[in-house]
Structure 1
């Protein structure tokens, strides 16, 4: 097998008239279209076999943004496969400006959704290589958005995988299935990025020896492993460090190589600008992190330490960082060290951006 493909996640496409202008926002949606243009310009030179887009294609499910992206993807010479993120279908019924949940497959019939009655699909990517794309966005009786898989999806997944035992299967889903941050499933800031019934999905994937999951949602570069299953989550094109990945299946291994958008037509030092943008807006985030379990610091303590951690989330998003905040009390420093690119023994293990995985 010799296949080259790319992943770009959380595009958050926003036409000028739809851009969020909240000064405190993390998302640099004003760069969403030029950022994608820069990425596609590169990818179009690579003789790709396909491109994966694991959700949050638009800023907030706007009809005009879905239409723009649909038209853009149609111009590409290689296949593109998408799934919805929570931002793509933010409400069940939609509005005059946003699509309804059921309408998503109709916009992307050429990008995986040949059956527009289902939000899940499977298709052959190459000889011996199969994609299984799962929608993880649902709504409860109060129409509150959930991140989970429904029982009928799990049944369909088992039936599908049972027919693909002779193929290498790639699973694409928006929500995280394996934790990418310490105790992510239980932390107030991390749990909403996790699939609610991740353990059920992992059990099925283990049963059928599926080894690769591709996700987005968390806006960080990270590769996590559980029982031989590798989950590759890719950061957002509109937040620091504006990454995308190029992958190659060859010689019985998967090679993953990360790239970053460093400049745009209207901004020459994008990395500096966006890291500062993130750091300057990190104070409320770090206050919540410091005052929440397991640290449970007082607000006074949190306000003292938060400025020392202003670059923490930007560095997490970049991946492959080692943390050592010696200015902090030892027990707090030890906690933040757990977020670094280290193995279970605390030794450096920089695998978030570039790695070769033996099949």
Structure 2
């Protein structure tokens, strides 16, 4: 098997008239379209087989943004496969400006959704390679958005996987299935990025030998593992460090290389600008992290330590970083050290951006 493909996530496409100009926002949506254009220009030189887009295609589910992206993807010379993220279907009913939950497949019939009655699909994307795409957005009776799978989806998934046991399977889903941050499933800042019923999904993937999951949502570059299953989450094109991935299936390996957008036509120093943007908006984030379990620091201590950690989230988003903050008390320093790219012995394990993973 020799296949080359790309992954770009959390595009958050926003036409100029739809851009959220909240001064405190993390998302640099004003760069969403030029950033995608830069990536597509690079990909056009590579003779790709396909492109995976694991959700948050639009800023907030706007009809005009979905239409723009649909038209753009239709011009590409390779196949594209998408799934919805939480921003793509922010409400069940939709309104005059945003699409309804059930509308999503109609916009992307050329990009995986041949059956417009379902938000999940499967197809063979290369000889011996099957894609299973799962929608992880649901709504409860009060129309609150959830990140989970339904019982019917699990039934469909088992039936699907039982019929492709002779193929390599890629699973694409927006929410994280394997933790990318320490205790992510329980932390106030991390748990909303996790699939609520991730353990149930993992048990099924383990049962059928599915080895690769492609996700987004968290806006960081990270590869995490669980019982031989690899989850490759790709950062957002509109937040630092503006990454995307190019991958190859070759010689019984999945070879992963990451790239970053460092400049745009009207922004020569995008990397520096967005790193500073992220760091300058990190104070409230770090305050929450310091005052919440397991640290539970007093407010006065948190206010003293938060400025020392202003680059922490930008470094997490970059991937392959190790941490040491000797100016912090030892126990707090130890806590933040565990967020680094290290193995169980505390040694550097730099696989978040570039890696070679054996298929079998």
- TM-score tier after normalising by the smaller chain length: over 0.9
**Alpha-carbon shift at residue 333 of structure 1 (Å):** 0.2
- Superposition RMSD in Å: 0.3
Deviations 1:185-241 (A, max 9, x none): 000000000000000000000000000000000000000000000000000000000
Distance 2:108 2:18 in 1: 21
Q: In the alignment, is residue 73 of structure 1 matched against residue 106 of structure 2?
A: no
**Alpha-carbon shift at residue 17 of structure 1 (Å):** 0.2
Q: In the alignment, is residue 312 of structure 1 matched against residue 308 of structure 2?
A: no
* Structure-1 residue corresponding to 2:282: 282
Deviations 1:74-114 (A, max 9, x none): 00000000000000000000010000000000000000000
Query: Equivalent residue of 2:297, what SS?
Result: coil
Q: In the alignment, is residue 93 of structure 1 matched against residue 93 of structure 2?
A: yes
Runs of 4+ in 1 over 4 A off after TM superposition: none
* Structure-1 residue corresponding to 2:341: 341
Instruction: Give matches, 1:50-199, under 5 Å.
Output: 50-199=50-199
What's the TM-score once normalised by structure 1's chain length?
Answer: 1.00
Query: Equivalent residue of 1:185, what SS?
Result: coil
**Alpha-carbon shift at residue 254 of structure 1 (Å):** 0.3
**Alpha-carbon shift at residue 286 of structure 1 (Å):** 0.2
Stretches of structure 1 lacking an aligned partner (at least 5 in a row): none
* Structure-1 residue corresponding to 2:249: 249
Query: Equivalent residue of 2:99, what SS?
Result: coil
* Structure-2 residue corresponding to 1:268: 268
What's the TM-score once normalised by structure 2's chain length?
Answer: 1.00
* Structure-1 residue corresponding to 2:30: 30
Distance 1:51 1:218 in 2: 19
Deviations 1:289-314 (A, max 9, x none): 00000000011100000000000000
* Structure-2 residue corresponding to 1:49: 49
Distance 1:252 1:331 in 2: 43
* Structure-1 residue corresponding to 2:2: 2
Distance 2:51 2:198 in 1: 25
Query: Equivalent residue of 1:225, what SS?
Result: strand
**Alpha-carbon shift at residue 10 of structure 1 (Å):** 0.1
Task: Give the count of matched residue pairs.
Answer: 359
Query: Equivalent residue of 2:87, what SS?
Result: coil
* Structure-1 residue corresponding to 2:12: 12
